Amino acid sequence: METGGEHMADRVEIFEVGPRDGLQNEKRMIATETKVALVDLLSGAGFRRIECASFVSPKWVPQMADSGDVLDRIARAPGVSYAALTPNMKGLERALAAGADEVAVFGAASEGFSRANINASVDEGLARFVPVCEAAREAGVPVRGYVSCVVECPFDGAVAPKDVARVVAALRDMGCYEVSLGDTIGRGTPEAVDAMLAVVLDEMAANRLAGHFHDTSGRALENVGVAIERGLRVFDAAVGGLGGCPYAPGAAGNVATEAVHDFVTAQGFETGLDAAILAEAGRLARSMRAA
């Protein structure tokens, strides 16, 4: 497929998750205006999608309590979709009221992580998403799915690829337009990621899957490379390498947007991103983490 002479296969999209997945784990409360400044900077960098809100209980993730204010105050750039995480109907209602362009639901491939994260089994968690996806569809808002612990779980150890594929299929059947595969604790080896993708691709095509790698073991870029070989062209990343996971002790941050950009650009892919703005956003993100 060509558009304007450019092969779509030559493009890699980075889905920016720093303002949500990155910041949610920061202990120090970050001012709403600082979050808005980060999103506004990223809006000018060339991203098509930026995740900047999470309508979960403030009791569990206090850093995201101002998500509605962030969505209200950002300067929305044309052509950019501003995404919010919505674990339940209440979260969806708040996200729609705040004007989220798309929403996301998040399941886990392992029972141990599901219980720690949402106090429910994998199947119970998936069942909760059915009405959320239906209501989002009625509202005309796209839903993205996340799967946590696609190769390894901090509680259960190695995760079987078939368990990941089952959750991906369930999210697909609910109407998720794309499913993001998360190596939540960053222990995934390229071999394990490749084996997982080999099975998951039987359930969902590569052009509807995204990779979400943490760099805990310093192998996130190798895993991006394996996923590219399998046909994936969308990767979640956080500017400045922000974030971890509150339910995965010791999990270092998401792979840095700048690193993924440099890695795929060196392989000849276009990202459509402005490296100078990315560098500026990275400095701001790191200052939010360090302060």
pLDDT tens per residue across span 184-215: 989 999 999 999 999 999 999 999 999 999 99
Q: Residue 11 sits in which domain range?
A: 2-290
Distance CA 147, CA 164 (A): 7
pLDDT tens per residue across span 141-157: 999 999 999 999 999 99
Whether pLDDT at 262 is above 90: yes
Identity of the amino acid at 122: V
Catalytic residue numbers read 245
pLDDT tens per residue across span 5-38: 444 559 999 999 999 988 987 888 999 999 999 9
Place of tokens 């084996």: 195
Tell me the percentage of the chain whose pLDDT exceeds 90: 82
pLDDT tens per residue across span 161-179: 999 999 999 999 999 999 9
Count of domains observed in the chain = 1
pLDDT for residue 2: 37
CATH code (residue 28): 3.20.20.70
Better pLDDT: 61 or 250: 61
pLDDT tens per residue across span 47-93: 999 999 999 988 888 999 999 999 999 999 999 999 999 999 999 99
Sign of the Cα torsion 42, 47, 48, 50 reads negative
pLDDT for residue 291: 52
Whether pLDDT at 248 is above 70: no
Residue 203, C-beta contacts closer than 8 angstroms, at least 6 positions apart: 165, 168, 169, 172
Mean pLDDT of 100-124: 94
pLDDT for residue 101: 98
